[in-house]
Amino acid sequence: MANQNVNVQGEVSASSMRRVATTALAGTSIEWFDFFIYGTAAALIFPQLFFPADLSPTVALIASFSTFAVGFLARPIGGVVFGHFGDKVGRKAALVTALMMMGVATTLIGILPTYALIGPAAPLILTLLRFTQGLAVGGQWGGAMLLVTESAPSDQRGYYGAFAQAGAPIGIILANVAFLGISYACTDEQFMSWGWRLPFLFSIVLIGISLYVQISLEDTPAFKELEANRANAPEADQPVKTTSERSPVLQVIRTHPRQILLAAGAFLAVQVSFYIVVAFLPAYGANPDGLGLSRDFMLAAVLISSFVQIPTLFLSAAYSDRHGRRGVYMLGAILGGFFAFALFPLIDTGNFWLIVLAMSGAQIFLSMMYGPQAAFLTELFSTEVRYSGASLGYQLGAILGGAMAPIIATALWKDFGTIYISVYIAIASVLTLISVILLTETKGLDLEQTKPVKELETTT
């Protein structure tokens, strides 16, 4: 039976908090690994294996990135479904289900026949499995994020929230290490024949992690308090609930629409910058119509920049615990918007270390936003709708920012030149800056709220 020590104030003990944080980090790392190996494969492998051979490299790349985008289209749906589940049944149950779903979908991609074997069915099944990955990620983030932020001490909520956020760069590192390692161990023919499948098959590890979460961890103190209040409230004191009150998703849309939209806007710059770095730039660098560099060259640059991202995440998150979420978030948006115009001049040199510098700079500035984001979104919503509200804001920002970023970047590059990709990043940064300005500072707010909170007032 799970044993998560809680003191008399309802706070999780330090040892249990570390266990929760490391478990969330492990789960999100493998989950994002699964999600990101698809992005790497969509850029470098799927155009050749899952689409007709008579397509040009650029058209095949756009078709492959279109299946990549399907995962983002599914993420808000996953946020809705798992948000309802997580607010009604519990954070842990929703997280376990999402981890299981991701593990199964990714493993099936690893055994999927190619276009040469089953024709048009190959990209159709691939798209369906990518959609399932998106559903899982749409539910996983809210569960992992709330598992740590609702359990953490109020003055360390940002820091511990970064453990859930760090799963993204660690997932990128694992994905690139996997592809680089297999690439070095195999010939090109072996890699394209069966070697690329091995990282997808590795995702079976998620099943073990999900079982560990189910057996070893309890739900968060905030959710358990909500459950206790629901159970102890006299029946006579419980009004007849409307449909929106029975559904946390409908309820949060009715009571917190402004926070959802602004949370999505606050996520735009993170998503646009991140997916241009990890999905578009490797394709741009390795594409014969682009720089014509080697696949391993670009993957190694992404790998190094992702290592750089991790300490920035934790430093920014810890800083937000002391000085507030909004300041560091807005600074990241401003610096990221300006740096966008240095990105491609550095990339186009073809020099490995200048490419690393370009990618690392972009990763550092987006991490100044992504680090404190878990705590920031947690604190925007009350307990009874927090999973739904945070997931909707996050996943809406993901679909508006990340889903189309590689496709838009590819189209801008082909039709207008890379300078317009920089303009695209800068516009996203401005929209994020405006969104954060319109949100209130949330640091230090009490999470033990079980009644809908009033809409937060704008602060300057």
Per-residue pLDDT band for 260 (boundaries 50, 70, 90) equals: very high
Rounded to the nearest angstrom, the gap between the alpha carbon of residue 267 and the centroid of all alpha carbons in its chain is 10
**Tens digits of residue pLDDT in 160-172:** 999 989 988 998 8
Q: What is the pLDDT of residue 211?
A: 77
- Which two tokens mark 116? 């040469």
pLDDT at 359 over 70: yes
d(CA 330, CA 433): 6
pLDDT at 319 over 60: yes
d(CA 121, CA 50): 9
Per-residue pLDDT band for 7 (boundaries 50, 70, 90) equals: very low
Of 20 and 266, more confident? 266
- Tokens 């990221």 belong to which residue? 336
Question: In this predicted structure, which of 212-221, 281-290, 306-315, 449-458 has the lowest mean pLDDT?
Answer: 449-458
Of 291 and 392, more confident? 392
Torsion of CA 208, 211, 216, 220, to 10 degrees: 120
In the chain, the number of structural domains is: 1
Per-residue pLDDT band for 454 (boundaries 50, 70, 90) equals: very low
Q: What is the pLDDT of residue 360?
A: 96
Q: Please give the average per-residue pLDDT across 216-238, as a whole number.
A: 69
Query: pTM value?
Result: 0.81
pLDDT at 6 over 80: no
Q: Is 85 within the bounds of a domain?
A: yes
Q: Is 357 within the bounds of a domain?
A: yes
**Tens digits of residue pLDDT in 18-54:** 888 888 888 888 878 887 788 778 877 888 888 887 7
Q: What is the pLDDT of residue 431?
A: 97
Q: What is the pLDDT of residue 448?
A: 63
Torsion of CA 356, 366, 323, 432, to 10 degrees: 150
Q: Is 73 within the bounds of a domain?
A: yes
Per-residue pLDDT band for 221 (boundaries 50, 70, 90) equals: confident
Q: Is 2 within the bounds of a domain?
A: no
**CATH number reported for the structural domain that contains residue 253 in this entry:** 1.20.1250.20
Residue 386: partners with Cβ closer than 8 Å, 6 or more residues away: 87, 146, 150, 222, 378, 447
Q: Is 4 within the bounds of a domain?
A: no
Q: What is the pLDDT of residue 212?
A: 79
User: Taking the CB of residue 449, how many other CB atoms lie within 10 A of it?
Assistant: 17
Q: What is the pLDDT of residue 71?
A: 81
Per-residue pLDDT band for 5 (boundaries 50, 70, 90) equals: low
Q: Please give the average per-residue pLDDT across 432-452, as a whole number.
A: 78
Q: Is 454 within the bounds of a domain?
A: no
Q: Please give the average per-residue pLDDT across 268-279, as a whole number.
A: 91
Q: What is the pLDDT of residue 436?
A: 96
Using a pLDDT cut of 90, give the percent of the chain over it.
30
Return left, alpha or beta for 119; rule: phi > 0 is left, psi -120 to 50 is alpha, else beta.
Answer: left
Q: Please give the average per-residue pLDDT across 427-443, as a whole number.
A: 93
Q: Is 229 within the bounds of a domain?
A: no
CA distances, 142 to each of 91, 93, 340, 406, 419 (Å): 8, 12, 29, 24, 35
pLDDT at 250 over 80: yes
Per-residue pLDDT band for 139 (boundaries 50, 70, 90) equals: confident
Q: Is the dihedral of CA 253, 258, 261, 264 positive or negative?
A: negative
- Residue range(s) defining the domain that contains residue 371: 16-221+248-437
Question: In this predicted structure, which of 81-85, 224-228, 296-300 has the lowest mean pLDDT?
Answer: 224-228
Highest mean pLDDT among 70-79, 152-161, 316-325: 316-325
pLDDT at 365 over 90: yes
**Burial level of 224, CB count in 10 A (0-12/13-18/19+)?**
middle
Q: Is 447 within the bounds of a domain?
A: no
**Tens digits of residue pLDDT in 200-215:** 888 888 778 877 777 7
Q: What is the pLDDT of residue 429?
A: 97
Q: In whole numbers, what is the pLDDT of the chain averaged over residues?
A: 84
